[in-house]
Amino acid sequence: MAIIGEIIKKVVELADRHLGNSNPVEAQKEVLEELLSKAEDTSFGKYYDFKRMLSQEDLQATFQATIPYHNYDKIYAEWWHKVYHGQKDITWPGKPDFFAVSSGTTSKKKHIPVTDAMLKSIRAAGIQQIKGAADFNLPAEFFEKEILMFGSSTNLKEVNGHLEGEISGISARQIPFWFEGYYRPGNAISSIDDWDKRVEALAREAPHWDIGSISGIPSWIELMMKKVIAYHQANTIHDIWPNFQVFTSGGVAFEPYKKSFDRLCSRPITVIDTYLTSEGYLATQTRKDTDAMSLITDNSIFFEFVPFKEQYINEDGSLKQDAPAITLNQVEEDVNYVLVISTVSGAWRYVIGDTIIFTDKEKAEIKITGRTKHYLNVVGSQLSVIHMNKAITRLEELFECNIKEFTVAALKEKDEYLHRWYLGIDDEVKAGDKEFAHQLDAILKEHNKNYAVARTKALKSVEVHRIPSVLFQQWTEKTNQKGGQVKVPRVMQAQPFRKWESFISQQMKG
């Protein structure tokens, strides 16, 4: 009998009953007041007079009327460059020991401060995730198994008196001592910079571990499992880790990878979605009867929501300053919103770049629907990533295939505009690229009136090119860090898209 597992499971179930967001709306009011109170003596707090703001009757309304929206470029140019170069008390008290390095869709490096308060917030969110497991009816034995967290290297780079790396590497580096006995692959392997060497070291040690759960980006975890299986000439990952039961997915939707994971496993696994970004741990799935995630509303992050409408979005995906923002008590279900956050890392009304919908307002449950930059409107087609995802899902149904990845650009060739799509498909499908293009075009016309109008005017044609899905991973490896949290953007501008096409052409020839 798993005595220790039974004890841990009881503790988790007890925490599930007594912790968490009993009233998300009230929790958010308290979070905003706490953020402003702690930052009132910073340069940012003095500039926007947080002390005066805290005395106002309607704090949320005053906050929104006083502080502008910030995307990364704006807040870095005005404030964070001072933090990055070692100045203290700029947007949050003190100065951070860490910066999360994140690559944007144009491969421009972002440096996002990660304060001690944010690390504490991330650890608290991890507790929320663990207690959420109580709803999944996992056996007591599961709570005695080891956890494989496989993201970026924990070997961080020292710059300007701080350490920097990807958020997964920073988080793994902060694992508490009492958890080290459960954590795999361990510090020695996690600190290896080269992803392939890190996987090889992991594969060698894999049979010595009793893995119960795995956490990471689906595309890279899939590739890691394939390499571990091949290294030991096994049939499935369960031949090596027979007690593997739970995969914690982060950053992207798991559904496109489900079939691949099924082929790598000999039995079903439980998938729990999480929402950890370079700016903070925002949400986690807490119920087995939904794939939506609960916003963590009582954990040092204040959320705002802007309706995702064309008139509120600039061409670069940033918000127009007159775009109306609402708070949690005002949201509606099944409406797309741009997510705006303020955090204990000194991000203020920060446009994270994601769009979400609420599936359950009372429980503050959300789904990520896309990115503000993933919006194609060069010739008035007004294609959001929401339209694209729905069209891709319909293509999968029509052609009975799995489309793991896709990207698209609007290009001008021979004085005419066209949309060119690349679809990551590994299945054998009899239909050709032209048939895919015809069906994709028809689906988009049917469900988007603006697109249908554009097809009668400036948008003259639609092309589809199917490629192996691994090429998307290889492009990420070439342009960013292999195994990192960066994904190929759904929509590319013409210039990076040409580089993408050149890379794909070379790989296909080789």
C-alpha distances out from residue 145 to 148, 211, 212, 225, Å:
10, 6, 5, 18
In a domain, 412, yes or no: yes
- Indicate the burial class of 212 (C-beta count within 10 angstroms; 0-12, 13-18, 19 or more): buried
For the CA atoms of 52, 57, 61, 66, what is the dihedral angle to 10 degrees?
-10
Task: Give the contacts of 296 (CB within 8 A, at least 6 positions apart).
Answer: 21, 125, 128, 281, 282, 283, 284
> Binning pLDDT at 50, 70 and 90, where does residue 510 land?
low
Question: What confidence score (pLDDT) does residue 19 get?
Answer: 45
* Residue 376 predicted with pLDDT over 80: no
In a domain, 497, yes or no: yes
In a domain, 449, yes or no: yes
431-483 tens-digit pLDDT: 999 999 999 999 999 988 889 998 998 999 999 999 999 899 888 877 766 66
Higher pLDDT, 195 or 50: 50
In a domain, 482, yes or no: yes
Higher pLDDT, 252 or 95: 95
β-bridge pairing 416-425 and 383-384: unpaired
> Nearest-CA neighbor of 343 among 66, 15, 96?
96
Structural domain that includes position 467: 375-509
For residue 460, the surrounding DSSP H or E stretch is: strand 459-467
β-bridge pairing 365-371 and 350-360: antiparallel
> Nearest-CA neighbor of 133 among 22, 8, 24, 27?
8
In a domain, 398, yes or no: yes
In a domain, 216, yes or no: no
- 3-state SS record for 384-427: EHHHHHHHHHHHHHHHCCCEEEEEEEEEEECCEEEEEEEEEECC
Contact (CB, 8 A) for 328 and 321? no
- 3-state SS record for 251-302: CCCCHHHHHHHHHHCCCCCEEEEEEEECCEEEEECCCCCCCCEEECCCCCEE
* Residue 238 predicted with pLDDT over 90: yes
Question: What confidence score (pLDDT) does residue 18 get?
Answer: 42
Q: Report how many helices (DSSP H) and strands (DSSP E) the chain contains, helices first.
A: 18, 20
User: How far apart, in whole angstroms, are the C-alpha atoms of residue 75 and residue 239?
Assistant: 49
Question: What confidence score (pLDDT) does residue 25 get?
Answer: 94
* Residue 484 predicted with pLDDT over 70: no
The structure's pTM equals: 0.84
User: How far apart, in whole angstroms, are the C-alpha atoms of residue 318 and residue 353?
Assistant: 8
Question: What confidence score (pLDDT) does residue 180 get?
Answer: 72
Q: According to the per-residue pLDDT averaged within each range, which of 79-83, 354-358, 430-434 is highest?
A: 79-83
Count the domains in the chain. Answer: 1
- Strand ranges (DSSP E) for 38-141? 98-103, 109-114
In the chain, the percentage of residues whose pLDDT exceeds 70 is 91
Average pLDDT of the chain, as a whole number:
88
Average pLDDT over every residue of 83-89: 97
CB neighbours of residue 37 within 10 Å: 13
133-182 tens-digit pLDDT: 667 778 778 878 899 988 888 889 999 899 999 888 888 887 776 667 78
* Residue 492 predicted with pLDDT over 60: yes
Contact (CB, 8 A) for 399 and 437? no
Question: What confidence score (pLDDT) does residue 12 get?
Answer: 52
In a domain, 471, yes or no: yes
In a domain, 470, yes or no: yes
Question: What confidence score (pLDDT) does residue 142 get?
Answer: 80
309-336 tens-digit pLDDT: 878 988 777 899 999 999 999 999 999 8
385-403 tens-digit pLDDT: 778 888 999 999 999 999 9
For the chain, the first-to-last Cα distance in angstroms comes to 55
CB neighbours of residue 369 within 10 Å: 18
The DSSP call for residue 78 is I
Of how many residues is the chain composed? 510
Higher pLDDT, 226 or 251: 226
In the chain, the percentage of residues whose pLDDT exceeds 90 is 57
The DSSP call for residue 472 is H
